């Protein structure tokens, strides 16, 4: 999309707010007059009309959006929805000739028009953005447009790519373009702060918000390749979803055998109401008591349940930066409390310095959140050092330790035993990543019972599904299988690291979990471009721009996969990078 950072305000009128609103019937004559001024009088696409107005048969079923400055029409854009059975492009090309499939989620954006006086302002950007948001709000996915050859850059900046079909109409040439709402979504997340600042200069009168209701961005865009409604699940075999940190290995054979044998019954049966058996199994395997365990449907469920219960707008929380994005999201966007960050430095590989952490904690917080090993860095703080530090933290400060990846380092590194003896330490333990159960949604909190009692009463019955409860219990019983997978993960990670170094990627963070974070050199493409290019090869990686407040635009993270997946990641990366001799 448009590089908004480099865009200068050329037009004085930019200082007036642009009002973006759905066009009313009363707006139509002025729209058709401006359309005539531009497409007949100025560009010669159409013959001049005696009434000096231009309109066509699609207009009846099109939605128009207008931009007004000080009440004057400054521009407009039009959208053709899928339901009416034809698009404007079909005036020039037959549907069968188009190089894409037009489906019930395809919308056409047309006639982006800006009056002469406002050509070099942000009016066109606001109109285009409004049209995209409109399509998104109406459940659209694919967007097609006939982009005028002289303003293709504007379409390109919104991620539209030419489809190789040129259309000549009168004296005007158009390119058939395509983009998608998911592309817009990724762009919006990456440039969230710029878009937020643009929202201040617009008087937004659309009946949906300027910014989509915020939610935290995660990996998982590979589902677009599979089909968001799971149409082509077999495609999972041809993609490499290294943008999420799921295990590369299957769940334990015990889990699979039990699922295969009992699946129809497990699916149709109500689970134990309060996960009694699961709590018991976790307690036994972790060497704690049942009262120390509170299960949840994934740690995301527990994060939302606990943090929203404990914190309010006046609370103060300390988090690492960068860290797992759901934490700043819940704290800042959902709860709205005060968040302070312990900035980890790129220059020492995002190591957490314990003296600095101890000093920051002393400043007095309601909650401190540590992800250990941290995501996206993979850096781990040793148990002994952390216990030493936490022993000095007063009971008024809760300390939440997210150990989603701890078993990769070693289960003896967990602070579960320390937590159950403490007043204020709570361990959040996902069973997704280390037990290969991400799709099941199982996690638990481990803490002293007084930390959990309120949360128990807030837990809905049957919070974890029966297949998930049974799978988790079976997984806990097969320690030997998982220990073997962790060893292989370390081996594969070391091999990946070597191969990346050989490729000229020198800045790889020394992580200890099932993923690697790295920075590309300045001469290499930005992460955004790498992501777009590798996804064409079916390889999905994570751009880290949104995972830290100061993340460099060439920071990426990949999950470790099995050898053939890793090979594909390396090949896809290699294709994007300049050869070593050019780099140096």
Query: Can you give the binding site for ligand PLP, defined by CB under 6 A?
Result: 245, 298-300, 324, 371, 375, 402, 404, 430, 432, 438, 443
- 414 vs 430, which CB is nearer to ligand PLP? 430
Q: How far is the CB of 527 from ligand PLP (least distance, A)?
A: 18
Q: Tally Cβ neighbours within 10 Å of residue 45.
A: 18
Q: Are 460 and 294 in contact (CB under 8 A)?
A: no
Q: In terms of CB distance, is 186 or 305 closer to ligand PLP?
A: 305
- Looking at the Cβ atoms of 184 and 513, the one nearer to ligand PLP is 513
Task: Give the nearest distance from C-beta 375 to ligand PLP in angstroms.
Answer: 4
Q: Compute φ and ψ for 184, nearest 5 degrees.
A: -60, -40
With residue 503 as reference, give the H or E element that holds it: none
**Residue 1 or 371 with smaller CB distance to ligand PLP:** 371
Q: Pick the closer one to ligand PLP by CB: 147 or 325.
A: 325
Least separation in angstroms between residue 326's CB and ligand PLP is 7
Least spacing, CB of residue 311 vs ligand PLP, in Å: 18
Sheet with 316-321, side-by-side order of all strands: 293-296, 443-446, 425-430, 398-402, 367-371, 316-321, 338-343
Identify the DSSP state of 422: S
* Phi, psi at 42, each rounded to 5°: -85, -50
**First vs last Cα of the chain: how many Å apart?**
30
- Which residues make Cβ contacts (< 8 Å) with residue 225, sequence separation at least 6? 235, 239, 535, 538, 540
Nearer to ligand PLP, 504 or 548 (CB): 548
List, as one string, the DSSP characters of 552-573: -TTEEEEE---HHHHHHHHHHH
Q: How far is the CB of 401 from ligand PLP (least distance, A)?
A: 10
User: Are the C-beta atoms of 326 and 369 separated by less than 8 Å?
Assistant: no
Give the C-alpha separation, 317 to 540, whole Å: 33
Q: Which is nearer to ligand PLP, 159 or 378 (CB)?
A: 378
Residue 371 beta carbon to ligand PLP: minimum distance, rounded to whole angstroms:
5
Q: How far is the CB of 464 from ligand PLP (least distance, A)?
A: 11
- Give the strand pairing for 425-430 and 161-169: unpaired
Contact (Cβ atoms closer than 8 angstroms) between residue 293 and residue 279: yes
Closest CA to 545 of 559, 560, 531: 531
User: Rounded to the nearest whole angstrom, what is the least distance from the CB of residue 215 to ligand PLP in the complex?
Assistant: 14
Pairing of strands 142-148, 172-180: antiparallel
Q: Shortest Cβ distance from residue 373 to ligand PLP (Å)?
A: 8
Confirm if 443 and 432 have CB atoms less than 8 A apart.
yes
| Residue whose CB is less far from ligand PLP, 295 or 504 | 295
């Amino acid at each position: 999309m448009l590089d908004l950072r480099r865009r200068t305000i050329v037009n004085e009128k930019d200082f007036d707010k642009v009002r973006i609103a759905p066009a009313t019937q009363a707006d139509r004559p002025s729209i058709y007059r401006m359309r005539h001024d531009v497409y007949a009088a100025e560009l010669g696409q159409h013959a001049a009309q005696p009434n000096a107005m231009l309109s066509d048969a699609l207009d009846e079923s099109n939605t128009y959006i207008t931009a007004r400055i000080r009440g004057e029409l400054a521009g407009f854009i039009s959208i053709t929805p899928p339901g009416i059975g034809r698009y404007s492009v079909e005036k020039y090309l037959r549907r069968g000739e188009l190089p894409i499939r037009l489906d019930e989620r395809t919308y056409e954006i047309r006639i982006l028009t800006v009056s002469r006086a406002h050509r070099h302002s942000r009016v066109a950007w606001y109109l285009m953005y409004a049209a995209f948001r409109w399509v998104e709000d109406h459940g659209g996915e694919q967007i097609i447009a006939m982009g005028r050859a002289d303003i293709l850059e504007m379409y390109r900046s919104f991620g539209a790519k030419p489809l190789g079909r040129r259309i000549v109409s009168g004296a005007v040439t158009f390119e058939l373009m395509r983009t998608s709402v998911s592309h817009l979504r990724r762009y919006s997340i990456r440039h969230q702060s710029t878009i937020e600042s643009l929202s201040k200069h617009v008087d937004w009168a659309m009946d949906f918000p300027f910014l989509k209701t915020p939610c935290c961005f995660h990996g998982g865009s590979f589902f677009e390749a599979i089909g968001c409604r799971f149409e082509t699940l077999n495609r999972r075999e041809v993609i490499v979803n290294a943008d999420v940190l799921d295990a590369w290995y299957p769940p334990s054979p015990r889990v699979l055998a039990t699922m295969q044998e009992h699946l129809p019954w497990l699916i149709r049966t109500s689970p134990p109401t309060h996960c009694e058996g699961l709590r018991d199994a976790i307690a036994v395997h972790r060497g704690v008591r049942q009262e120390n365990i509170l299960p949840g449907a994934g740690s995301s469920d527990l994060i939302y349940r606990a943090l929203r219960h404990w914190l309010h707008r006046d609370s103060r929380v300390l988090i690492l930066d960068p860290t797992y994005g759901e934490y700043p999201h819940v704290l800042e966007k959902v709860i709205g409390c005060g968040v302070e960050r312990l900035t980890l430095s790129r220059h020492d590989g995002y190591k957490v310095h314990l003296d600095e952490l101890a000093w920051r904690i002393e400043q007095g917080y309601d909650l401190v959140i540590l992800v250990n090993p941290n995501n996206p860095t993979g850096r781990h703080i040793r148990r002994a050092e952390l216990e030493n530090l936490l022993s000095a933290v007063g009971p008024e400060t809760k300390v939440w330790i997210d150990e989603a990846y701890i078993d990769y380092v070693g289960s003896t590194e967990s602070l579960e035993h320390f937590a159950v003896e403490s007043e204020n330490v709570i361990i959040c333990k996902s069973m997704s990543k280390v037990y290969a159960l991400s799709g099941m949604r199982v996690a638990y909190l481990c803490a002293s019972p007084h930390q959990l009692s309120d949360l128990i009463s807030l837990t809905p019955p049957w919070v974890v599904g029966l297949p998930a409860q049974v799978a988790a219990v079976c997984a806990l019983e097969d320690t030997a299988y998982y220990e073997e997978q962790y060893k292989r993960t370390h081996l594969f990670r070391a091999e990946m690291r070597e191969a990346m170094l050989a490729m000229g990627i020198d800045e790889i963070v020394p992580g200890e979990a099932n993923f690697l974070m790295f920075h590309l050199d300045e001469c290499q493409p930005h992460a955004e471009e790498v992501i777009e290019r590798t996804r064409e090869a079916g390889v999905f990686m994570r751009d880290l721009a949104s995972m830290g407040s100061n993340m460099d635009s060439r920071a990426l993270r990949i999950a470790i996969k099995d050898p053939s997946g890793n090979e594909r990641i390396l090949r896809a990366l290699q294709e994007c990078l300049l050869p070593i001799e050019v780099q140096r």
